[in-house]
Chains A and B, each alone.
Chain A
Amino acid sequence: MTERTARLALEDGSILMGIGFGAEGTQVGEVVFNTSLTGYQEILTDPSYAGQMVVMTATQIGNTGINLEDDESQRIFLNGFIIRELSPVISNWRATKTLDTWLAEQGVIGISEIDTRALTRRLRDNGSQKGVLSTEAHFSNDNLVAQARAWSGLDGIDLVQAVSCDEPYHWTDATDDVWEFKSSSTPSTEKLHVVAYDFGLKRNILRRLAANGCQVTVVPAKTTAAETLALKPDGVLLSNGPGDPSALPYAVEATQQLLGKVPVFGICLGHQILGQALGGKTYRLKFGHHGGNQPVRYTPTGRVEISAHNHNFAVDPASLPAEVEITHLNLNDGCCEGLRHTSLPALSIQYHPEAAPGPHDADPLFDEFVQLMHTHKK
């Protein structure tokens, strides 16, 4: 493997030198860090990262290669991958290719040998930054910094349409038996039909819905409420997805029209959409939550979930009407992580009950959604 130099330029003017892997070229993106210790394949294929470059704080990346099962969508949507050290070999019984090869195939630039801790500390202290990754020697450092600064960034931009599906499709695959972790899965005899809005949907959401006895129709982000209702769903899922939630008026509008007619469950971006549909506002967090160890208290019982997060925005609880109850609170920063309408059948959480990657503590929320659909059906 011949080493090729790569550079990461940030809008604050800093240049970090490293070794390139994956694809070559030059790419802009918003730099965020993720503290998960495992699960880089899932992170890379999570469409919510569209427009972003992810810094992994865990230092040994690529050890388990890439396998056929763990993709969370059909391809990589993020703009760059920044790590401390890339494994020269893969070692895992499921692995079929190296991370390097795969990123090259997917046209994504990776950079290794970066002081990821220093970079993370900078992002923590100064907030997420615009950055440029480049393997191209002809750009000067100043030029790269200028490119980073010139980029308009993600605020106010609709990134959903680029990652959403074009046509509706059906999904029936549940989590494989060998990987199923619920000891007492009792799928209802009566299948529920869920329409899932694909704002950047992760496959594991679909698998978990299927594992809980749901048949799912996935629909494109711009599907109207009328089109959705025509499918006669028992419930509607608003999926996760990338970018600024305030740039999606069509989704908020559709959700508003669905509220009260059918149970709605929002995950991540879907939570932010539901929050807006209920009258709330979203705001940008300094550097967001990206990782698999966030403690969240489920306020009705006090139970603490260790959960998988990936969000840069949050719903401002003060902006929500009185009928909305905050059900989940982040114990680190007090951020609103889930809500429920007191009379309408609607609930949402800001993080990932489907995990992938991350702990399964929040999985019971799928049961809650199923229960909600059953109740509403009666």
Chain B
Amino acid sequence: MKYLDEFSDPDLAARLIDQIHAVTTRPWAMMEVCGGQTHSIIRHGIDQLLPDDVEMIHGPGCPVCVTPLEVIDKALAIAARPEVIFCSFGDMLRVPGSGQDLFGVKSAGGDVRVVYSPMDALKLARQNPDRQVVFFGIGFETTAPANAMTVHQARRLGVTNFSLLVSHVLVPPAIAAIMESPRCRVQAFLAAGHVCSVMGTREYPPLAHKYGVPIVVTGFEPLDILEGIRQTITLLEQGRAEVRNAYPRAVRDEGNPAAMAMLRDVFEVTDRTWRGIGEIPGSGWRLSSRYREFDAELRFDVGGLRTAESPLCRSGEVLQGLLKPHECAAFGKQCTPRTPLGATMVSSEGACAAYYAYRLVTHS
């Protein structure tokens, strides 16, 4: 695919890796916030090619993994209703709530469907006027415009049997929350390229300044990630807590104004709980009052459903590089990839899940 293959070129990657080794003079710990970047780092074995002194801390940016337990339990309750067609992105189906996952609801007779786009769910609503179609609207700023447009379109077309179960999360408040920890080891961030495609880069200079960390907007292909790391280490070595854009083909400083206008219309900022991490103030979006009639929580009266995150889970500390997964008392006991307590065990690339898989292999 054009503009993907060129950015995976092994020869150019080798040059970037040489450059990274050349500019690194001492140990650095940086966090890639985004789960997609974590995926790419592991998929291509990039972490093994970096200087030993450079530590990549995998951040909380996997949207299905950080979706709070309570919202998943609400999804399960709604999906089990006979009048409902419950539509979701594929990777959400396997994320367990307190009891089961969406696959379990499906096996018990719930009508649960995987869709590629929220617009496919709206299409289903129009094709099935006698059913209630609910879309599980999760994700970061990248996914929010799609969900916003879909509910906007539902209102415009008068599709009243469509609603959205919303649990959007936002990157900048998460970065702030990580840096607020007194023991935080993160010295720099690779910011998530596609979040910035939508939101631009202007939220980041205040964070870089306040916490004294360089932030480099980074893409997802191997060369993009290596370039993000190279620019980050260069800034660290120079002692400059500045923001750079290493993904200019997809990110403009001003973001996507049309998408941002839609987001302002459809959503409003709210406090949000992150799975295993806890509540981060102002770190989420919910439907604004103008779109309340499309809020599945209200339509199906699950707003009162309360589930507490596990008190055992210490994934917040794991995410900050403060705790190794096996040092957590619940690791491998109450908490496994099949019965995960927090985001870091839910995602196959999460620190705890990766550690669990590796440990199983070395012990068997």
Is chain B found bound to chain A in the same assembly? no
Q: B residues near A, CB below 8 A?
A: none
Interface residues of A (CB under 8 A from B): none
